[in-house]
Structure formats: structure tokens, C-alpha cells
């Protein structure tokens, strides 16, 4: 009898849970699920993954972003992503595996899911659009910042529980994407022919001898980028169109900001008629006045002073390694090293690795934060790092 009652109570509890979930889905109310954990599953990739919350298991699909596919099951999407980034389909799927690994690492331990239980469709199992947060970081933001996704897909409807508006968050994502594009971080390191690259539409007017039909290089992009390595918009160099992405800033106010340059501190914007401190506080975290110095032991640090460091051995802290099709000298193979120091992105740089060390090198630098020492060298009018054979 006692066993029967226990089973009956368990079934009632399960039915109550299902009913509560159904009510949440129907009402469209936000629900914050604390203490979620990743469930290992074949469907897991960069932007979709199985989640366990207490007695509930479901598939979450991230709002705002689209990660490269990991295999050819959805070839139409693979082809669309290949066109977007202007890269081969095989490179799309290789990048998809990297984004999936990034998401899996991000979701280690417990995290928070914020959802309205909106049906995300796609796949055999039902999935739900969601935001994912861990240690005050949003997974969608980190995917964009590290070049593992594109801004694409479903935005949220209405502000989520902590008050952030979709427009404000999308503006922030655009700034992160520009920074990833300009530093050729993640998949952007292979997407050098993509029309999505930051500043490409300005190269013809701003860079002598470079037209929109030419492939931009890291150095030419750096000349026109108005987004910081930190992912924030630089007030003293941003275009009018970029300033208009800030909440509360329209064409007129953008022109006033440009006329007021140089801007010493962000609060100086309050001196411009029509911009209040309340307006500034909304986007304060998204802007800086000038580019900060690059972090030590990163590609950006050495590339900013090649006169001092060229033809010397330098060390960089590697955040990720991307395979590259760049032509390398005989008996070497090329990769792109993405660098960062204490969580601050430091741009990327090509590196030449001896054939006999290549596989070991790729495996070793799968772990972020390891140091690499090589010769900073000029090659084909570009700067590279060369692994020295001992």
C-alpha cells in the first residue's frame, strides 16, 4: 500500500509539473531556470543542446545567433552559411565542431536558462528558444565575441527578466561581431572574402589602392575599424551609422557626437543637446572613447610595434587555433593563432608550423591559455610567427 501511494504521488507530481510547463508555454511568461546542466547528446552543437533542470530535460536553441553546422545533415543550411562567410562547406563544418566544443566548455558545471518556451522547431525532438547565462556572461555574446557564430535568427520579444531590451542586446552583439571580424577571430580568420567583414564597404574610400573587389588584410581592416578589441564602440572613430546603433542615438545626435570630437570621457556626451545622463547610462557599458593599449603577450601587442619585435622570438598566449589554407614555406603548414591575455582578446596572427610537429601542435593548443613562442617574421608582405625547429 505504501509503495502504491509513493508511485501515485510521483505520478501526480509529474502531471503537475507538465501542467505547469504547459501554462508557462501558453502564457509566454519568462521563466528563469537556475542550476541547469548540459546533457550529453548527439544533437548538441554550438547553438542547440540538451539541458537538464531538476526533473525536466529539454533542448534549448539560442536566441539571436546561428553557429556553423557540424555535419552535412542540414546541407541547405551548410550552403547558406558557406555563402555568408564565403568559405568552403567543409570549412563550415570544421568551424561548427569548434563552436560546439566552445559551447560544451562554456556549459561545464551549472548555468542559467531564461526561456518563454517558444517553439524553435527544427529536428525530430521539440526545442525551445532560450538565453543562457553563466557567471554573468551570456553564451550568445561569447560565441559572437569569439567568432564562433553569426548574428542570425530569432530575437526575443520584449525585455527579459533583468530588464535588458532586445534592441540593446542586439546592438551589443553587433559590436562584438565587428571586433571579431576586424581581428579575424574564429571563423572570420577563414572568411577573408566575405562581404560581412567590418569596414569592407569603406575600404575603397579609406585605404589607398584597395577597392571593394579586393580581399582585405588584417592590416587594412585595422585601418578602418571603429570597434575596439574589447567589443565596445570607439566614440572618437565610429561612423554615424555605427553611432546610430546605440540606444537613443539617431542620425541627428550621431552627427552632433562626431562634431564634438575629440571626446575626453564618455560623460562629456551629456554636453551635447539632446543627450542626457540617463541616455548615456543605457549604453555606457557598450562604448569607450579611445582604443586601450593591446594586452601583453598577444598578437596585437607585437603587431603594434613590429619595428621593435620583428625578427625576434616572442611569446603569445593562445586562446584558440584555426586551421588555415594560407600558403606556407616548404615543409611548413599554416594556422591562425587567436590570442588573449586574462580574458581580453588580443587579435590573431598566422603561424607556420613544421610538418612533423603539426598534429601534435593542433592537439596541444586545444587547451586555451597555453603560451607559444616563435620568430616574428615578415612573409609575403605580412607578419607571421614561425615555429623554430630545435
- Find cell 542550476 and name the residue: 35
How many Å apart are CA 210 and CA 195, to the nearest integer? Answer: 14
Q: Tally Cβ neighbours within 10 Å of residue 388.
A: 10
Fold of 25-159: OB fold (Dihydrolipoamide Acetyltransferase, E2P) (2.40.50)
Residues contacting 230, CB < 8 A, separation 6+:
179, 288, 292, 344, 345
Q: What digits encode the pLDDT tens for the residues 336-352?
A: 998 888 877 788 899 99
pLDDT, average across residues 74-86: 81
- pLDDT of 94 higher than 80: yes
Nearest by Cα to 252 from 267, 270, 228, 274: 274
pLDDT of residue 367: 87
Could you tell me where the beta strands, DSSP code E, fall in the chain?
31-39, 48-53, 56-62, 65-66, 111-119, 127-134, 137-138, 150-151, 233-234, 287-288, 313-323, 332-341, 344-354, 370-379, 382-386
How many Å apart are CA 37 and CA 231, to the nearest integer? Answer: 28
Q: 53 with 36: CB under 8 angstroms? A: yes
- pLDDT of 138 higher than 70: yes
- The C-alpha cell at 351 is 603561424
Q: What digits encode the pLDDT tens for the residues 143-183?
A: 998 889 988 766 777 778 776 777 778 778 887 887 887 77
How crowded is the C-beta side of 141, counted as CA atoms within 13 Å? 19
Question: Quick check: do 25-159 and 299-386 share a fold?
Answer: yes
How many Å apart are CA 17 and CA 244, to the nearest integer? Answer: 45
Which pTM was predicted? 0.49
Burial (0-12, 13-18, 19+ Cβ within 10 Å), 120: buried
pLDDT of residue 213: 36
Domain 299-386, classified CATH 3.90.1200, yes or no:
no
- The C-alpha cell at 249 is 542615438
Residues contacting 317, CB < 8 A, separation 6+:
297, 298, 339, 340, 341, 346, 369, 370, 371
Name the 3-class secondary structure at 155: coil
Q: Where is 212: in which H helix or E strand?
A: none
Q: What digits encode the pLDDT tens for the residues 29-63?
A: 889 999 999 999 999 999 999 999 999 999 999 99
First to last CA, the chain: 76
How many Å apart are CA 39 and CA 53, to the nearest integer? Answer: 10
Q: What digits encode the pLDDT tens for the residues 168-223?
A: 787 788 878 878 877 778 888 777 655 455 333 333 333 333 333 333 333 333 33
pLDDT of residue 228: 56
Q: 226 with 220: CB under 8 angstroms? A: no
pLDDT of residue 204: 33
Q: What digits encode the pLDDT tens for the residues 258-310?
A: 888 889 999 999 999 999 999 999 888 888 888 778 889 998 889 888 889 99
pLDDT of residue 224: 32
Per the model's pLDDT, the better-predicted residue between 79 and 213 turns out to be 79
Pairing of strands 111-119, 233-234: unpaired
Query: What number does CATH give the domain 182-288?
Result: 1.10.150.320
Burial (0-12, 13-18, 19+ Cβ within 10 Å), 230: middle
Count of positions (residues) in the chain: 390
Domain range list for the chain: 25-159, 182-288, 299-386
How many Å apart are CA 254 and CA 105, to the nearest integer? Answer: 39
Amino acid at each position: 500500500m505504501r509503495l502504491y501511494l509513493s508511485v501515485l504521488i510521483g505520478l501526480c507530481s509529474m502531471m503537475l509539473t507538465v501542467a505547469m510547463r504547459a501554462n508557462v508555454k501558453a502564457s509566454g511568461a519568462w521563466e528563469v531556470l537556475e542550476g541547469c546542466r548540459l546533457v550529453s547528446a548527439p544533437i548538441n552543437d554550438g547553438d542547440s543542446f540538451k539541458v537538464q533542470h531538476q526533473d525536466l530535460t529539454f533542448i534549448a536553441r539560442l536566441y539571436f545567433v546561428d553557429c556553423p553546422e557540424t555535419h552535412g545533415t542540414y546541407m541547405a543550411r551548410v550552403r547558406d552559411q558557406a555563402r555568408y562567410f564565403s568559405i568552403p562547406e567543409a570549412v563550415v563544418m570544421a568551424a561548427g565542431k569548434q563552436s560546439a566544443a566552445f559551447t560544451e566548455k562554456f556549459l561545464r558545471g551549472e548555468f542559467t536558462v531564461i526561456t518563454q518556451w517558444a517553439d524553435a522547431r527544427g529536428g525530430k525532438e521539440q526545442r525551445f528558444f532560450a538565453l543562457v547565462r553563466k557567471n554573468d556572461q551570456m553564451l550568445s555574446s561569447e560565441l559572437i565575441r569569439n567568432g564562433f557564430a553569426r548574428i542570425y535568427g530569432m530575437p526575443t520579444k520584449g525585455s527579459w527578466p533583468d530588464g535588458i531590451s532586445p534592441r540593446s542586446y542586439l546592438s551589443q552583439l553587433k559590436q562584438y561581431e565587428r571586433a571579431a571580424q576586424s581581428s579575424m577571430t574564429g571563423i572570420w580568420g577563414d572568411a577573408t572574402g566575405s562581404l560581412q567583414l567590418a569596414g569592407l564597404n569603406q575600404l575603397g574610400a579609406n585605404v589607398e589602392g584597395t577597392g571593394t573587389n579586393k580581399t582585405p588584410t588584417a592590416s587594412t581592416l585595422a585601418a578602418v575599424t571603429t570597434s575596439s578589441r574589447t567589443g565596445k564602440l570607439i566614440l572618437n572613430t565610429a561612423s554615424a551609422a555605427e553611432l546610430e546603433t546605440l540606444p537613443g542615438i539617431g542620425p541627428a545626435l550621431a552627427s552632433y557626437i562626431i562634431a564634438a570630437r575629440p571626446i575626453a570621457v564618455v560623460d562629456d556626451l551629456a554636453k551635447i543637446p539632446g543627450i542626457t545622463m540617463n541616455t548615456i547610462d543605457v549604453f555606457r557599458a557598450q562604448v569607450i572613447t579611445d582604443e586601450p593599449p593591446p594586452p601583453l603577450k598577444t598578437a596585437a601587442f607585437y603587431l603594434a610595434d613590429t619595428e621593435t619585435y620583428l625578427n625576434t622570438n616572442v611569446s603569445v598566449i593562445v586562446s584558440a587555433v584555426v586551421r588555415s589554407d594560407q600558403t606556407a614555406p616548404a615543409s611548413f603548414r599554416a594556422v591562425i593563432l587567436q590570442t588573449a591575455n586574462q580574458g581580453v582578446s588580443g587579435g590573431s596572427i598566422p603561424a607556420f608550423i613544421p610538418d612533423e610537429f603539426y598534429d601534435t601542435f593542433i592537439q596541444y593548443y586545444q587547451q586555451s591559455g597555453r603560451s607559444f613562442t616563435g620568430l616574428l617574421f615578415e612573409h609575403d608582405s605580412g607578419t607571421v610567427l614561425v615555429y623554430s625547429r630545435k
